[in-house]
């Protein structure tokens, strides 16, 4: 195994993440995708890059500052990684703006969807925008001239601001030469021109353009000689020492405010900002010139996503679809009877998430239901799931909810959610100290005759109605006795901190999931060594755990055919001679965010199929509470393999193949186009 631990066999996780962003940006260039959806992909890439800097780059900067010598399997130091990230990230940013300015905006303009710059405003538009500025903007903006009494302000994380150069003196005879103007966060960054001023139905102006055009009005008696937008990205990771706090909710509430003013890790400036001003801004945020990113357009591309939602042009978007209702639930109005007749598997977004909400609603109304237990990681406070749990608690059911307060960037929403549920009498706990509760479980306990029966739902994704239409995920309904007992034990473990004991069917992190995956991989390797058929098929979001990768390498050397479908980060190098020649890695990037975790092992012809909330990452195996559950019904096993392995391996339109050097090559179809997501829409929704 020592040879399989060589750093040459591992792709750096941060560089792999940047490669994923490259694949997302490539969607914006795909002529087969409707133009408004291509704009959305540019915005998504911008949002992903923001989080990459807020968390991953920020963490590397901290390690570098503290002189950390910690290295991953690739043996790259924090400084090594930062040195490679910077040119790649700048290349991606440049490509985003090139696609936006040279491709998408001209295409949108031809469709009557226009983003107007001040040079394009006619007299009527200019007059309306000036009136808008005076009524909506001027009263709430407070420019700050820079002098000893007015030090440089601290803009919030990712907020829009301007640096203005000035000639002349103010009313008090001061002449600082510079001022900072921060855009109000309360106003939308995109303004739609009204019918009275527009020449077409869909004409928009950026708030930044309105402010730039009227910036001189903030400085009467002075001359604004330049105005340049900028945005600073800050370290947004939260630190709470859970061993030292008495109340995790209150501790997180206190920590959330610091996220807005964390250490700066990136400065974005307008492309035309003079070098001396860019250097001045960088110095204020204690950043080097390498950490300055020039933007040929709005400094926050994510704001342009509003155009996609505001424009009613179905012909320029993906075709609409209606998620199917599973036949078992169509045939029986009582969901408990449907589940009792056999396990029900839902594949989202192709099949509707509504049956799960109905399941909770029926449970809330059913006098025979005594208790509901559920985990919530990301769900949203205005969710039908939450409302059903509130109704159940108000109806006198015993409602227990395990809320993960530390779900990144959803902390505030989850704190609000916890407060809401507690106010109606639900019992709320926050999981386990030191571990995030990432498992997706729901259990309803119902009295039926003289017995109490458990009805469970286990999933690969969050209980979030909106993402259930955007992410691919599986959800399994079952009243299997042993599965129900396992779920009950896990809930007891989360609430009373006792040992769950041995689970009969569910694999659980941080206890049995990692070791069992290694055993299953080794079992396939042993079969291959004996000349027996062997195969491993796995689909996940990320693959970086070193022991798993080494086990896959060893299995490949033994002759096991291994097919991996990894959406994002992958540290494993396929196609390395003598090591991973039997391993293929593909990534699917399409209309929906691939989110299913499916692990399949040939098992000598009696194929084992597992669904899981966990990726093959160290944090999922060792730092989170996760579940991995078997699909035991033969028909459902075949269905999962067909829909998630066969269908995705056949994809030749939205599939990217990982090369040994860490780059990806998009598969090209020569005759018949095969796109997995499109195939599943046709297969399950028609």
pLDDT in tens, 350-370: 999 999 999 999 999 999 999
Residue 246 has pLDDT above 70, yes or no: no
Question: Exactly one of 438, 457, 464, 514 is catalytic; which is it?
Answer: 438
- 481-530: per-residue pLDDT in tens? 999 999 999 999 998 766 667 899 999 999 999 999 999 999 999 999 99
* Range ranked top by mean pLDDT from 61-70, 82-91, 164-173, 182-191: 82-91
Q: Whats the size of the chain, residue-wise?
A: 686
| Predicted local distance difference test score (pLDDT) of residue 145 | 85
Pairing label, strands 608-612, 561-566: unpaired
Least confident of 421-430, 473-482, 599-608, 670-679: 421-430
**Rounded Cα gap, residues 542 and 569, in angstroms:** 5
User: What are the percentages of helix, strand and coil residues in the chain, rounded to 5?
Assistant: 40, 20, 35
Contacts (Cβ under 8 Å, ≥6 apart) of 496: none
Residue 641 has pLDDT above 90, yes or no: yes
**pTM for this structure?**
0.93
Q: Is the peptide bond before 462 cis (omega within 30 degrees of 0)?
A: no
At residue 613, the 3 state secondary structure works out as coil
For residue 162 the two structure tokens come to 């301007």
| Predicted local distance difference test score (pLDDT) of residue 658 | 98
- 285-296: per-residue pLDDT in tens? 999 999 999 999
438 is catalytic: yes
Q: Domains in the chain, please, with CATH? A: 2-316 (3.30.1840.10), 327-502 (3.30.870.10), 509-685 (3.30.870.10)
Residue 447 has pLDDT above 90, yes or no: yes
Inter-residue long-range contacts of 73-80, CB under 8 Å, 24+ positions, other chains counted: 73/5, 73/7, 73/9, 73/10, 73/546, 73/549, 73/571, 74/7, 74/10, 74/11, 74/12, 74/571, 75/7, 76/7, 76/12
Residue 54 has pLDDT above 80, yes or no: yes
């Amino acid at each position: 195994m020592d040879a399989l631990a060589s750093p040459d066999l591992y792709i750096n996780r941060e560089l792999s993440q940047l490669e994923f962003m490259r694949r997302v940006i490539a969607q914006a260039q795909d002529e087969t995708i409707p133009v408004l959806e291509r704009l959305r992909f540019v915005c998504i890439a911008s949002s992903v890059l923001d989080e990459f800097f807020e968390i991953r780059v920020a963490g590397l900067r901290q390690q570098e500052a503290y002189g950390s010598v910690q290295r991953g399997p690739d043996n790259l130091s924090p400084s090594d990684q930062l040195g490679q990230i910077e040119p790649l990230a700048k290349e991606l940013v440049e490509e985003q703006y090139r696609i936006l300015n040279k491709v998408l905006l001209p295409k949108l303009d031809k469709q009557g969807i226009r983003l107007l710059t001040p040079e394009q405003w006619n007299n009527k538009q200019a007059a309306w925008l000036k009136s808008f500025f005076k009524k909506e903007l001027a009263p709430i903006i407070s420019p700050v001239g820079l002098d000893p009494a007015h030090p440089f302000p601290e803009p919030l994380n990712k907020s829009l601001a301007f640096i203005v150069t000035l000639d002349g003196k103010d009313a008090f005879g001061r002449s600082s030469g510079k001022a900072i103007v921060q855009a109000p966060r309360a106003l939308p960054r995109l303004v739609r021109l009204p019918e009275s001023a527009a020449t077409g139905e869909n004409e928009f102006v950026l708030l930044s353009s309105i402010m730039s055009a009227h910036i001189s009005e903030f400085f009467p008696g002075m001359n604004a000689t330049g105005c340049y937008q900028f945005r600073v990205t800050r370290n947004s990771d939260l630190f709470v020492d859970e061993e030292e706090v008495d109340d995790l909710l209150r501790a997180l509430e206190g920590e959330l405010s610091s996220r807005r003013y964390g250490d700066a890790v990136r400065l974005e400036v307008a492309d035309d900002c003079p070098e001396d001003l860019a250097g001045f801004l960088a110095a204020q945020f204690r950043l080097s010139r390498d950490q300055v990113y020039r933007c040929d357009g709005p400094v926050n591309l994510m704001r342009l996503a509003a155009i996609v939602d505001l424009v009613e042009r179905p012909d320029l978007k993906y075709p609409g679809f209606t998620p199917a209702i599973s036949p078992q639930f169509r045939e029986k109005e009582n969901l408990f009877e449907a589940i009792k007749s056999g396990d029900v598997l839902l594949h989202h977004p192709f099949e509707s998430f509504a049956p799960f909400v109905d399941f909770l609603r029926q449970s809330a109304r059913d006098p025979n239901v005594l208790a509901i237990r559920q985990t919530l990681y990301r769900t949203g406070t205005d969710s039908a799931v939450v409302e059903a749990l509130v109704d159940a608690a108000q109806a006198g059911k015993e409602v227990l909810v395990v809320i993960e307060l530390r779900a990144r960037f959803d902390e505030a929403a989850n704190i609000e959610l916890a407060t809401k549920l507690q106010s109606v009498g639900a019992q709320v706990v926050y999981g386990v100290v030191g571990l995030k509760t990432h498992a997706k479980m729901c259990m309803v306990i119902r009295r039926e005759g003289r017995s109490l029966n458990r009805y469970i739902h286990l999933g690969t994704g969050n209980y979030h109605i909106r993402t259930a239409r955007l992410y691919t995920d599986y959800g399994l309904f079952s009243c299997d006795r042993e599965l129900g007992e396992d779920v009950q034990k896990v809930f007891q473990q989360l609430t009373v901190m006792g040992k769950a004991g041995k689970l009969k069917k569910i694999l659980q992190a941080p206890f049995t999931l990692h070791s069992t995956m290694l055993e299953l991989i080794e079992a396939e390797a042993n079969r291959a060594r004996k000349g027996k058929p062997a195969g491993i098929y796995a689909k996940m979001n990320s693959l970086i755990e070193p022991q798993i990768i080494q086990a896959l390498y060893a299995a490949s050397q033994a002759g096991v055919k291994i097919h991996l479908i990894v959406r994002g980060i992958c540290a494993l190098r396929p196609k390395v001679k003598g090591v991973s020649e039997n391993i293929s890695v593909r990534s699917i990037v399409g209309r929906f965010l691939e989110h299913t975790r499916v692990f399949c092992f040939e098992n000598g012809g009696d194929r084992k199929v597992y669904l899981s909330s966990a990726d093959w990452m160290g944090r999922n195996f060792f730092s989170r509470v996760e579940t991995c559950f078997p699909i035991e019904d033969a028909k459902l096993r075949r269905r999962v393999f067909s829909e998630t392995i066969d269908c995705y391996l056949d994809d030749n339109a939205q599939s990217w193949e990982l090369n040994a050097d860490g780059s990806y090559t998009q598969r090209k179809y020569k005759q018949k186009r095969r796109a997995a997501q499109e195939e599943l829409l046709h297969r399950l929704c028609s």
